Structure 1
Amino acid sequence: MYRNRKSFIAVLITIVALSWGCKDDPPSEVTLPSNLEISFLVDTIDHGTVAIEAKADKANFYTCTFSEGTESTTDEASDGLFSYTYSEAGTYDVVVKAHATESEFIQQEESVTITFPVPGNEGDYPTAGYSTPTSYSGYDLVWQDEFDGNSLNSSDWNYEIGTGSNGWGNNELQYYTEDNASVSDGYLTIEAKEQFFNGNNYTSSRITTLNKQSFKYGRIDIRAAMPFGQGMWPALWMLGQSFPSAGWPYCGEIDIME
């Protein structure tokens, strides 16, 4: 009896010791990243390529999923920098995740639009596209310019010359001249050039209808082909007729395209 009791105590102690030794530690709480910000840069030289920069607080690494058709590609980067080249024009979804761990993350979904120049049309006018109607129900046509002739109609248009104040308020790098605009075959062409002129490395043209054409209410249609290339910033916009006296932004501004 004495020996059996001793064996029972030894076995009991062993079981208790093993039970204590196998107890799991409580899981530590994971801190998720926050303030995820995503910036896109669509390359206008290497067409179809988009660069993405993701930033977030307390992120250990990032993943980015690019979808094209039925296929998707997921890349991982510790610095949040990604690049992908699409094979076709279109609007695509991009999902960026900022990870604390592989399974703990925050995410943001954005869309990116990819365009390609028409083959063989670089530098040429588009031969197809939207045609602006000359009439709408309930509207009367009060002005139009089809750019007939070989120069701008000075009764409708002004040239703004120079660099303005602080690069026209936008730190623009070009010097505006009359020589960069031309009219021919029903087209107004504004050409930005890399050339040194009056202390600037670039030239272009800027035209307005100030004090010559102004409208209250109604509708304005513009048919224009946009340039492609790095550094281009075409813009079509409207300012209030009070701009010379009230100044910007008090005169108001409506951007048609910028």
Structure 2
Amino acid sequence: MMKKLLPHFLVLLCLPLFLNSSCKKEDEPDNSNDPSNLKITVTLPEGTGNVIVEAVAENAVEYRFYPVTGVEPIINSSGKFEYLYVNPGTYRIEVRAYGVSGRYVKKEKQFTLAEDGEISIDQGYSTPLEYPGYQRVWNDEFDGESLNSANWKFETGAGGWGN
């Protein structure tokens, strides 16, 4: 009976030694080259809708700028981005700084683009009649507040064409 139990006993004795020797403590990853200290600055030039974002981080080799959720990022190595927002409103942006390992740090910022004041009719826009280096060939301006019937006529098309 002892001879039958001896192999089992040896297996049970050696099994913990074998399992313990195969367990090796994993080395801690080297995080010394990971990006850190990400700082972002957002500049809003007045009345343009253009937003300038500058990102700086230690150990960063690539920056990704997410101007709007769901939009593909703008990627570069300088950390300087420009983006044109067409509509006024509040926006949240995200910037990620990537290191050589592929790991990144990120920061988000929120800003508001105010709606520009409306332009009244008396302000309007004016366009110069002449530009340097160009000569005006034709001008289509009105005399006063109504059409000058000597220069203009109404054509209705008698129901066949026109307005």
Q: So what's the TM-score if we normalise by structure 1?
A: 0.33
- Alignment match, 2:95: 96
Q: Does 1:40 align with 2:42?
A: yes
- Alignment match, 1:79: 78
| Distance in 2 (alpha carbons) for counterparts of 1:56 and 1:77 | 13
SS of 1:67's equivalent? Answer: coil
Question: Structure 2: which amino acid aligns with 1:104?
Answer: R
Deviations 1:154-189 (A, max 9, x none): xxxxxxxxxxxxxxxxxxxxxxxxxxxxxxxxxxxx
Q: Structure 2: any 5+ residue segments left out of the alignment? A: 1-26, 124-163
Higher-Rg structure is 2
- Alignment match, 1:106: 105
Which aligned pairs between 1:179-190 and structure 2 lie closer than 5 A? Answer: none
- Alignment match, 2:30: 29
SS of 2:73's equivalent? Answer: strand
Runs of 4+ in 1 over 6 A off after TM superposition: none
| Distance in 2 (alpha carbons) for counterparts of 1:104 and 1:89 | 34
| Distance in 2 (alpha carbons) for counterparts of 1:42 and 1:84 | 10
SS of 2:68's equivalent? Answer: strand
% same residue:
26
| Distance in 2 (alpha carbons) for counterparts of 1:42 and 1:120 | 21
Which aligned pairs between 1:19-168 and structure 2 lie closer than 5 A? Answer: 29-30=30-31, 31-45=33-47, 47-67=48-68, 71-101=70-100, 103-121=102-120
For these two proteins, the number of residue pairs brought into alignment is 96
| Distance in 1 (alpha carbons) for counterparts of 2:88 and 2:101 | 32
**How far 1:109 sits from its partner (Å)?**
0.8
**How far 1:28 sits from its partner (Å)?**
7.1
RMSD between aligned residues? 2.7
Contact 1:48 1:116 in 2 (8 A): no
Deviations 1:203-245 (A, max 9, x none): xxxxxxxxxxxxxxxxxxxxxxxxxxxxxxxxxxxxxxxxxxx
Deviations 1:116-135 (A, max 9, x none): 312315xx8xxxxxxxxxxx
**More strand as a share of residues:** 1
> Does 1 or 2 have the higher relative contact order (CA < 8 Å, sep 6+)?
2
| Distance in 2 (alpha carbons) for counterparts of 1:35 and 1:63 | 15
Contact 1:48 1:114 in 2 (8 A): yes
Contact 2:34 2:101 in 1 (8 A): no
Deviations 1:29-82 (A, max 9, x none): 35211111111110114x2110000011111111110116xx424101111000
**1:104–1:57 Cα change, 3 Å:** same
**1:102–1:48 Cα change, 3 Å:** farther
Question: Structure 2: which amino acid aligns with 1:55?
Answer: V
**1:34–1:54 Cα change, 3 Å:** same
| Distance in 2 (alpha carbons) for counterparts of 1:73 and 1:66 | 8
Question: Structure 1: which amino acid aligns with 2:79?
Answer: G
